[in-house]
Chains A and B, each alone.
Chain A
Amino acid sequence: MGVGWRFDSAGVDEVIARTDADARSLSSELGTVAATLEQVIGQLDDVVGAALRRFEERWLESAEAVDRRTVAVVETARAVVRDHLSTDEEMAGSFGPGLWGAKVAGRPFAPRITQRPGPLSWD
Chain B
Amino acid sequence: MALDASAISDGAVDLRRAAGRVGDDGVQVSNGWRALTDVYQSPVAPVLVTAMEPVGQGASEMSGAMQTATVALDDYARAISSLQTRRHSVAVDAEVFARAATASPDWRIEPALRAHQSSLQQSVATLESDFDDARQQCVAVLDGIVTPAVQTTGSFASTGQGPEGLGGPGDGWWDPRHLFTRSSLDAMSPAEVNAWWTSLSPAARATYLTTSPQMIGGLDGIPAAVRDAANRSRLDRELARLTAERDAMGFFERNVAQRTLSDELNEKIDAITAIYEALRKGDRQLLVFDVSGREAFAAVGVGDVDAALNVSVLVGGTGTSVESGLVQLDQDSMKMRERAAEIGEVSLMEVAVVGWVGYRAPSALWLAHDPRYAVNGRADLESFVQGVGATSIHPSKDLNLTLGGHSYAAMLVTSSVLDATTPVDSIATYGTPGIASGPFAPQVDKYWLANSDDPIRAAVVAGVFTDQPNVDDGWTELDTSQREIGGTTYLRGNDHKYLQDGSMTQYNLAALIAGRKDLLVPYESGK
- B109 in the interface, Cβ–Cβ < 8 Å? no
The count of residues in chain A whose C-beta lies closer than 8 Å to any C-beta of chain B is 54
Are A7 and B18 interface neighbours, CB within 8 A? no
- Please judge, given known A-B contacts A22-B29, A109-B42, whether A55 and B145 are in contact too, CB under 8 Å: yes
- Which residues of chain B are within 8 angstroms of A1 by Cβ–Cβ distance? 252, 257
Specify which chain A residues have a CB less than 8 angstroms from the CB of B161 in the assembled complex: 108
B366 within 8 A of A: no
- B40, A6: Cβ atoms closer than 8 Å: yes
For A91, the chain B residues whose CB sits under 8 A away are none
Stretch from B62-70, B337-345, B467-475, B481-489 contacting the other chain: B62-70
Minimum distance in angstroms from A14 CB to a CB of chain B? 8
Assess the B151–A15 pair: CB atoms within 8 A: no
| B18-A59 in contact (CB<8A) | no
Determine whether B309 belongs to the interface, using a CB cutoff of 8 Å to chain A.
no
In the assembled complex, how far is the CB of residue A48 from the closest CB belonging to chain B, in whole angstroms?
5
In the complex, which of the residues B3, B40, B43, B69 contacts A8, with contact meaning CB atoms closer than 8 Å? B40
Q: Write the A11-42 contact mask toward B (1 if CB under 8 angstroms, else 0).
A: 11011001100110110011011001101100
> B186 within 8 Å of A by Cβ?
no
Query: Which B residues are CB-close (under 8 A) to A109?
Result: 42, 44, 159
A6-B41, A19-B33, A39-B11 in contact; A72/B22 too (CB < 8 A)?
no
B40 adjacent to A11 (CB under 8 Å): yes
Contact B36 A77, beta carbon cutoff 8 Å: yes
Min distance, Cβ A60 to any Cβ of chain B, angstroms = 9
Taking a contact as CB atoms closer than 8 A, the residue among B15, B19, B33 that contacts A15 in the complex is B33
Is B18 within 8 A of A32, CB to CB? yes
- B22-37 near A? 1/0 per residue, CB < 8 Å: 1001101100110110
**Which residue in A40, A47, A65 is a CB contact (below 8 Å) of B58?**
A65
Tell me how many residue pairs across A and B have CB atoms closer than 8 Å: 189
Residues of A contacting B156 in the complex (Cβ-Cβ under 8 angstroms)? 73, 76
Known: A32-B18, A48-B138, A55-B142. A63 touches B43 (CB 8 A): no
Known: A19-B29, A54-B142. A73 touches B40 (CB 8 A): no
Are B40 and A7 in contact, with the CB atoms below 8 A? Answer: yes
Question: Once the chains bind, are A80 and B160 in contact (CB under 8 Å)?
Answer: no
Residue B170 interfacial (CB < 8 Å):
no
Known: A11-B38, A19-B33, A58-B147. A66 touches B62 (CB 8 A): yes
Give the Cβ gap from A45 to chain B, nearest Cβ, in Å.
6
Q: Tell me if A99 counts as interface (CB < 8 A to partner B).
A: no
Say whether B73 contacts A70, CB under 8 Å. Answer: no
Q: What are the residues of chain B within 8 A of A61 when measuring CB–CB?
A: 147
- Residues of chain B contacted by A80 (CB below 8 angstroms): 40, 42, 44, 48, 157, 159
Contact stretch, chosen from B49-57, B188-196, B370-378, B410-418: B49-57
Contact in complex: B143, A55 (CB < 8 Å): yes
Chain A residues lying within 8 Å of B380, measured Cβ to Cβ, are: none
In this assembly, does A116 line the interface, its C-beta being within 8 Å of a C-beta of chain B?
no
Instruction: Collect the chain B residues with CB atoms within 8 Å of residue A4's CB.
Output: 41
Contacts A19-B29, A65-B149 given; indicate if A59 touches B62 (C-beta within 8 A). yes
Q: Are B25 and A26 in contact (CB under 8 A)?
A: yes
User: A40-B15, A80-B48, A80-B157 given as contacts; is B28 within 8 A of A2 (CB)?
Assistant: no
> A3 contacts B135, CB within 8 Å?
no
Q: Is B66 a contact partner of A33 (Cβ separation < 8 A)? A: yes
Are B25 and A70 in contact, CB atoms less than 8 angstroms apart? no
The contact of A12 among B25, B39, B52, by CB within 8 Å, is B39
A residues lining the B interface (CB < 8 Å): 1-8, 11-12, 14-15, 18-19, 22-23, 25-26, 29-30, 32-33, 36-37, 39-40, 43-45, 47-48, 51-52, 54-55, 58-59, 61-63, 65-66, 68-70, 72-73, 76-77, 79-80, 83, 108-109
CB-defined A-B contacts under 8 Å, sample of 13? A4-B41, A5-B41, A8-B40, A23-B29, A36-B18, A40-B73, A48-B76, A52-B69, A59-B62, A62-B61, A69-B54, A69-B152, A70-B29
Apart from A55-B65, A65-B149, list 9 A-B contacts with CB within 8 A: A5-B42, A7-B42, A25-B28, A33-B15, A43-B3, A62-B65, A62-B150, A70-B52, A76-B51
Q: Which residues of B contact A (CB under 8 A)?
A: 1, 3-4, 7-8, 11-12, 14-15, 18-19, 21-22, 25-26, 28-29, 32-33, 35-36, 38-45, 48, 51-52, 54-55, 58-59, 61-62, 65-66, 69, 73, 76, 135, 138-139, 142-143, 145, 147-153, 156-163, 174, 252, 257
